[in-house]
Structure 1
Amino acid sequence: MRPQQPLLTDRGFYLGPMFRQAAERHGPVFVTLDRPLDVHPGLGVDLTYTVLADLVDELSAQLWEAGIRPAEEVAVHKTDNVDIVLLTCALSRIGAVPALLSPGLAGPVVGRLLERLHTPWLITDRAKLEGPLKDVDVAGLVRGTLSVDDAPGAVPLEKYAGSAPRRAVRMHSREPALITHSSGTTGLPKLAVHCANTMWNRLVPQKAMGWPTRGETAALHMSFVHSRFYHLLGVLLSFGSPLVLITDPDPANVAPILTRHRPGIVETHPNTFVLWEELADAPGAPLSRVRSYGSTFDAIHPRTVQRLLDASERRAPWLIQLYGQSETGPVAFQWFTRRGASRMDGRRVGIGIPGFTRVRVADESGRSVKPGSPGRIEARTRGRILTYLGAREQYQRQLDRGWWQMGDMGYRSRWGALYLIDREIDQIDAVHSNLEIEDTLMSRLEELREVVIVPGADREPVPVVCVRGEQALDPDRWREATADLPTLAEPRQWRFEDLPMTATWKVKRVEITRMLAEGAVA
């Protein structure tokens, strides 16, 4: 009798062995950084798959020697850099559960998230402990604090340098494997618990989408604490793609790197793509060899898509947009080409992923509505997280017989295409779609860096605008651009840097409304 095989043993996406498997399969493919690693600055910025695989093995040995064991939760909260990724993979390699907390979180928020974890370890640095975490009782919330540098009150990882190598630990595919957090646009971020099986169900369709560009050099500027980054990394490593990993999105920093490497794949946050519009005609043509742009986390403005595609000299470049959230992974997708971008509807976010996701629009009773009728967007997906850590009831409230409430309002066309109207919490009665007006204004006023429509004190639509170069908004051009739009309040001009943002550069609209109510000015 043949021995019974464990179920789903091959259906798990494990972060720990990613770099080693890629190095064994593809060899020393180059990986370029824009700043040295905090955990090993002496390595410089020109690395390889093999170097990073060795470093992940070395870090996992140090973390084990420090006392971290399988199934233990480990919060990673440090200054933004690529070593967040390496620490995550090293923790996964020894069976621990990385809990990735954005470098941009305020100290008190980090403290509350640490409370929700199960007496975790903390990996951090001097900048965090002496900065945002200065007034947080870190010692009372964690079982031990490790630092990538010489931070006071923490044990330096360097203390365990030279530790004996450890064999990799493989946890069951339905056990918690990774914890990330939601964007926090409407309040305290929620801790999303992923397992290797749900992550595999997100990885497979993304591999299929990436197949046409396998092997192309990929330039990425993305949040290193977001699950989307790890899935894209898994796709690119499996194809042996050279990598350019960018921490600082300033065009002055990015342009020379892209000009040097001529990437065929570029992915970043939609708001960063707006910033990178100026790279379209930059000296050296840094975007001239791009074959595929990737955009996720939020809808992208049509103007931005057109400029990016026009900057490429490839015969038929495209931009792929993924619609989803941390809790579900991508649930809908679509491609834009040069021809389609000129007439694209920025509210169209695509169709469900065949075999992996289904999308519907439902009324308040949970019944599907007719095509063209607005309602609540819901998704059914194999990639849904296991739970919200410390908020199980909130997780259950977002489920309706297996359908996950995305928190967005939208509608579907006769042919099944999904259109996004607004976040439920952001809707304004006097406006059909804030997002649609924003797209229109961005297309009509090329000087805009960002425009956000939020409800004012009397629920009137208030435009908050940011102008490139911090120039003053031209009132005549504004009046002309808004003449045929719903009546808007007088625009409030802010600096882009003053907009409250998430780790993925999503604008915190609820926070802006609160700031306006408290009298915030330009």
Structure 2
Amino acid sequence: MGTLFDDCASRGGATLVRLDRPFDLPGTGATTYDLAQLAALVEETAGWLAAAGVRARHRVAIVKDNHWDYDLLACAAVRLGAVPAQLSAHLAAEPLGTLLDRLRPRLLVTTAALLARHRAAGVDPARLAARTVLLDGTAQGATSVDELRGARAPGPRRRCPDEPLVINHTSGTTGVPKLVVHSTRTIIHKLARFEAFRYPRIGVRRDDTVVNASSYAHGRTFCWTASVFCLAPKEIAVLTGTDPEAADLFLRAHPPTVLEALPSVYGRLAPLTRRLDQPFHRVRLFVSTYDAVHPPTLRAFLGATRRRGAVWMQGWGQTETGPLTFRFHTRRALRRADAAAAAGDPGHDGTPGGASDRGGAAGGGAAGGTWWSGGGQDARDLGRPVPFKTRLRVVDPVTFAPLPPGRAGLLLARTAARAPTYLGERERWLAKDRDGWWNTGDIGVRDRSGTIRLLDREVDHTPGTSCLQLEDLLEDRLPWLRECVVLTPPGQEPVPVLVTDDGAFDRADYKRAVADLPPLAEPVVRAEDSIPRTGTGKVRRHALLEQLTGRRDTAGSGRWT
């Protein structure tokens, strides 16, 4: 990774990178880069990192505004033999302080604004690192990057494939994120190399314009960076903001043929699909990870492209493991699923007649019933394990005995791509390992064909129901909803939180939508900007539950979060 762009350029790659705004790195005002310029930027960055005292095996913490230069900084640290730790600027002061305390980095790379914000909140990140360098401005106890620029970078250093390569944190929906340590063998040899192949229909081609709109502090984009440049598309466009109007201009200037985005970003950009001059008409492949994309969003984007045979590839996995399953959605499948649901097909998506295979007996209770039929493509159907790469089993949460198809339980995964450890939480890591099987902490159901349906995180799960399925159903039935979040206070009926643009909703419409669903508590209506989220746009469910009820206890045990 330290010489990625040099290597791609030497093999004749001609990829151009387009940015929606300049990098936050010093001296960079351009919004277009070729491979040679990226290689030079990484080498220059490695020079000032070395001048700041970074050496082999040192940890370099990176906390800054969202941009793809997270990965350029990481590549520069890797070039020196150091270990970059990419931390999201969305982290609040307390969890950021906890992660930095575990890291104890030789160098912290951040910004003056972020440092000031956390100091005002009572946490001084600079005190948790041996040295702090600011990419902009000045502050007490920190060095301006301008004092270090111009230093010559030492030659690239190689490392053993099993030594730490990069540290990324998990989403943190249930508390302080974990620090996941990946090696070259796991994240590059097992994950990135698997992606760096021109698979029929879903592989990146040389004439593609690949657009990414992600949270660049997370491990998914580090892996993506490693693979996509090896595939040498014509153009890569990086979107950092989520404002639909600004994104519209950028996307129309660089219309994608391959689009990967966070589920939350897809949701934000969905209104653009309804415009006559919309920017998605050339997309042949949509990619989503981190979380399921709700059925109305799937329909909107697949309906917007004019490419025949367009595919939506939905991956499910974790920072610790990489992708574990893939599911493919197409326009034809959407139409077929919608028609089957409208006709009351008894074998469709968990309705009576199909419940034994499709999850009707959640947690041993009778979820059954017609409410599990979403009226369309089921986004919680995760597909099957990645062929030749991963194995999955469903086990009883108490005894860990394997469960037959149709019975809900904990999902365990086995993959050679699993990261070696959590930094500073080895016992927590070992508690999730069971004879080589990784406890994902998710509750799901496997049908007889091997397809996995996700029900909930174990910490949120109430036997006999599925918050995630309820959310999909309500979003499908109530088009005016921005999002629905179903919370599970222990011993109480699930609480639907209805997220709308203005904090208002149609009660009569809602009553019709829930008439055939399990009993729910009185809905809570909230505006979008009041919902606590992670850097990847996931709802911080426990923070929201505490905000609404003052309670911190959970429906599940939370032993494997």
Question: TM class, shorter-chain normalised?
Answer: over 0.9
Structure 2 segments unaligned to the other structure (5+ residues): 338-376, 552-561
Question: CA offsets, 1:224-271, max 9 Å, x none?
Answer: 111111112222101112111111011111111111111101111112
Corresponding residue SS for 1:213:
coil
The correspondence for 1:223, drawn from 215, 227, 239, is: 215
- Aligned equivalents of 1:282, 1:258: Cα separation in 2: 13
Q: Which amino acid aligns with 1:355?
A: F
Indicate the residue corresponding to 2:287 in structure 1: 294
**1:191 to 1:60, Cα distance in 2 relative to 1, 3 A:** same
Report if the CA contact (8 A) 2:54-2:106 is conserved: no
Corresponding residue number in structure 1 for 2:45: 59
Deviation digits for residues 190-249 of structure 1 (CA, Å, limit 9, x no counterpart): 111110000121113323476633221111111111111111222210111211111101
Deviation of residue 518 (structure 1)?
2.8
Say which SS state the counterpart of residue 57 (structure 1) adopts: helix
8 Å Cα contact 1:499-1:512 kept in structure 2: yes
Query: What SS does structure 1 have at the residue aligned with 2:476?
Result: helix
Which residue of 2 is the match for residue 437 of structure 1? 470
Q: 1:287 deviation in Å?
A: 0.5
Shift of 1:473: 0.7
In the other structure, the counterpart of 1:33 is 19
2:9 equivalent in structure 1: 23
Matched, 1:396 2:430: yes
Match among 409, 420, 433 for residue 375 of structure 1: 409
Q: Name the counterpart of 2:159.
A: 171
The worse-fitting range, judged by mean Cα deviation, of 134-143 and 250-259 is 134-143
Q: Which amino acid aligns with 1:411?
A: V
Query: How far off is 1:27 after superposition?
Result: 4.2
Report matched runs for 1:93-492 at 5 Å: 93-134=79-120, 135-152=122-139, 153-199=141-187, 200-208=189-197, 212-215=203-206, 216-241=208-233, 242-342=235-335, 343=337, 344-363=377-396, 364-429=398-463, 432-456=465-489, 458-467=491-500, 469-470=501-502, 472-492=504-524
TM-score, normalization: structure 1?
A: 0.93
Q: Residue deviations 1:283-317, cap 9 Å, x none?
A: 42200000101010011212211111110000111
Which range moved further: 399-408 or 131-140?
A: 131-140
Deviation string 1:390-444 (CA, Å, 9 cap, x unpaired) is 1100000001100001111011110111111111111134x51111111111111
Contact 1:213 1:292 in 2 (8 A): no
Q: Secondary structure at the match of 2:181?
A: strand
Distance 2:203 2:100 in 1: 41
SS in 2 for 1:249: coil
Is the Cα contact below 8 Å between 2:26 and 2:145 reproduced in 1? no
Shift in CA distance, 385/401, structure 1 to aligned 2, threshold 3 Å: same
Q: CA deviation at 1:95?
A: 0.8
Q: For residue 508 of structure 1, what is the aligned residue in structure 2?
A: 540
Output the CA distance in 2 between the equivalents of 1:80 and 1:261.
20
Farther-moved stretch of structure 1 (15-24 vs 409-418): 15-24
The code of the aligned residue for 1:392 comes to: R
Shift in Å, 1:29? 2.3
Instruction: Provide Cα deviations, 1:60-118, integer angstroms capped at 9, x if missing partner.
Output: 11111221001001110122223222111111111110011111011121111111114
| Matched residue type, 1:141 | L
- The answer to whether the 8 Å contact 2:71/2:225 transfers is no
Measure, in 2, the Cα distance between the counterparts of 1:36 and 1:137: 28
Conserved? CA contact 1:280–1:311, under 8 Å: yes
Amino acid aligned to 2:214:
M
Deviation at 1:138, TM superposition (A): 3.4
How far off is 1:41 after superposition? Answer: 5.2
Cα 1:127–1:316, aligned 2, differ >3 Å: closer, same or farther?
same
- Residue-by-residue CA offset, 1:138-185 (whole Å, 9 max, x unaligned): 343211111112221311222222222321111111001111111111
Tell me, in whole angstroms, the C-alpha distance in 2 between the residues paired with 1:409 and 1:46. Answer: 44
Instruction: Tell me how far apart the structure 1 counterparts of residues 27 and 329 of structure 2 sit (CA, whole Å).
Output: 40
1:42 deviates by: 4.3
Is contact 2:108–2:126 with CA below 8 Å preserved after alignment?
Answer: no
CA distance in 2, matches of 1:40, 1:145: 15
What secondary structure does 2:449 align onto? coil
Q: Distance in 1 between matches of 2:114 and 2:215?
A: 18
Hey, what does 1:7 align to over in structure 2? none
Deviation at 1:28, TM superposition (A): 4.4
Displacement of 1:479 in angstroms is 0.9
Q: Which amino acid aligns with 1:445?
A: L
Distance 2:418 2:213 in 1: 25
1:89 to 2:121 alignment: no
Q: Give the counterpart letter for 1:100 in structure 2.
A: Q
Separation in 2 of the partners of 1:282 and 1:451? 25
Give secondary structure in 1 for the equivalent of 2:297.
Answer: helix
The 1:401/1:439 distance shift into structure 2, 3 A limit, reads same
Deviates more, 1:432-441 or 1:43-52: 43-52
Give the partner amino acid of 1:266: L
Q: CA separation of 1:165/1:120 partners in 2, compared to 1, >3 Å: closer, same or farther?
A: closer
CA, structure 1 residues 271+79, in 2 after alignment: closer, same or farther (shift >3 Å)? closer
Letter in 2 for 1:294: V
Contact 2:198 2:231 survives alignment (8 Å) = no
Q: Which residue of 1 aligns with 2:353?
A: none
SS in 2 for 1:465: strand
Q: Partners in 1 of 2:126 and 2:541 — Cα distance?
A: 34
Alignment correspondent of 1:73 = 59
Classify the secondary structure of the residue corresponding to 1:494.
Answer: strand
- Alpha-carbon separation, structure 2, partners of 1:41 and 1:463: 48
Distance 1:147 1:505 in 2: 26
Q: Is the 8 A contact 1:288 1:313 kept in 2?
A: yes
Matches within 5 A, 1:45-56: 45-56=31-42
